[in-house]
Amino acid sequence: MKLLLENWREYLNEDTDATGAIPPHLLKKQNRQKDAKALLESMGFSVRRELGRGAFGVVYEVENNRTGERSAAKVVSDESKREIENYTFAMEEKAFMPEEYAKYLPDVKQLITGGGSTIILMELLEPLDPQTAQELFAAQDAPTASKKPEKILKDPEAVAEIVEKAIEHNRILDQMRLTPEQYSEITSVAVNAATQAPLSDADDLINTIYGAVVGALTFQSPAISRAFEKALKATVLYYFDKQIIPVHQPEEDEDHYDTWTSGGLPKTSALFPEAEGLMDAMKYFMQDKQWKPKDVHINNVMRRPDTKDFVIVDLGLFSRGIY
């Protein structure tokens, strides 16, 4: 109840000026939403509750009074032409896409226009669970304990991949100007040690790599050795913690539209097939449909309750042509 009241206070504070009056543009927005609710009710839907709201619209859970079927109704201004076009495109084209990619788009049932708003009626979905959110999107509000490190450390190829990157991108080793032969030697030693040692967490991996490199390479002073260890820890944790699905898709450089964009390495990402499937679908949309995905992040991806498929629920910033 406390959280609900705080949310309402925040909403009211945003929607009023210093005198407590509602600014004209926000009043217009509220009136559109009231009109949208009235339109839904006139078409035989009951508005059950608000599911969420963003900068460009609000989403309600609605129920068909005749069939009892529940759906999500996203209300956007008619001025949001790009968003309306994207949902229309998804509704019309989804049936002609391979199912392996189409399943990542919401089932858009109908677009209803009236009162200055467009109502996008689509399937009702559920939020991602916190553990999945943290593993794939690095959600800040997810629990600290996830199974992501455990999955990575059980796979020798993923461990070797992280070790190689940790050695390659260590700033202290770079400053030492090692020869290619030296880099190759210490990388091989570190990979062998890490893939053969029992590892329970990221600290185990860091300590194993550090011990192997210190044994194979002579540091000029304890201070340099400590600096190497600090840089090593930062790099290893980067690859453990970085999201697999990119939060912000690239604007122009389409050639690099892959898991590297996110910090997720190929062997590591392969351990999370749901993420790989979503990434493949986004590549398909862009390459085969000339429909560039944008803004696919934790709040814009949900799941189907029955199949647990990921679904991109917010298509507002996808781009077709020039905007």
Summarised one tens digit per residue, pLDDT across range 214-227 is: 999 888 899 999 99
Does 185 reside within a domain? Answer: yes
- Domain identity same for 146 and 236: yes
**Integer Cα distance of 128 and 136 in angstroms:** 10
Q: Give percent above pLDDT 70 in the chain.
A: 79
Pick the last residue of a domain from 206, 241, 276: 241
Asked if 109 contacts 30 with a C-beta cutoff of 8 angstroms, the reply is no
Is residue 89 scored above 80 in pLDDT? yes
Range of the domain at 168: 139-241
Q: Which residue has the higher pLDDT, 320 or 203?
A: 203
- What CATH number is associated with residue 10? 3.30.200.20
Rounded mean pLDDT, 287-309:
89
Residue 199's contacts (CB-CB under 8 Å, 6 or more residues apart) are 153, 159, 205, 208
CA angle at residue 308 from 305 to 314, to 5 degrees?
A: 80
What total number of domains does the chain contain?
A: 2
pLDDT confidence band for 294 (50 / 70 / 90): confident
Rounded mean pLDDT, 44-68:
87
**Integer Cα distance of 60 and 51 in angstroms:** 5
- Domain identity same for 117 and 169: no
Rounded mean pLDDT, 17-25:
53
Pick the last residue of a domain from 71, 95, 122: 122
Pick the last residue of a domain from 241, 266, 287: 241
Rounded mean pLDDT, 222-240:
91
Does 293 reside within a domain? Answer: no
pTM of the predicted model, to two decimals? 0.72
Could you identify the residue written with the tokens 């949309």?
Answer: 285
**Integer Cα distance of 236 and 205 in angstroms:** 8
Is residue 273 scored above 70 in pLDDT? yes
Does 306 reside within a domain? Answer: no
Is residue 249 scored above 60 in pLDDT? no
- Domain identity same for 81 and 26: yes
Does 82 reside within a domain? Answer: yes
Torsion sign, CA atoms 106, 111, 115, 117: positive
Q: Which residue has the higher pLDDT, 205 or 8?
A: 205
| CB atoms near residue 132 (< 10 Å) | 23
pLDDT digits (tens, 9 = 90+) for 119-135: 999 999 999 887 787 77
Asked if 197 contacts 204 with a C-beta cutoff of 8 angstroms, the reply is yes
Asked if 219 contacts 252 with a C-beta cutoff of 8 angstroms, the reply is no
Rounded mean pLDDT, 286-301:
86
Measuring CA to CA, which residue among 79, 166, 60, 172 is closest to residue 117?
79
- Domain identity same for 166 and 237: yes
Is residue 28 scored above 70 in pLDDT? no
- Domain identity same for 207 and 146: yes
pLDDT digits (tens, 9 = 90+) for 183-198: 999 999 999 999 999 9
| CB atoms near residue 11 (< 10 Å) | 11
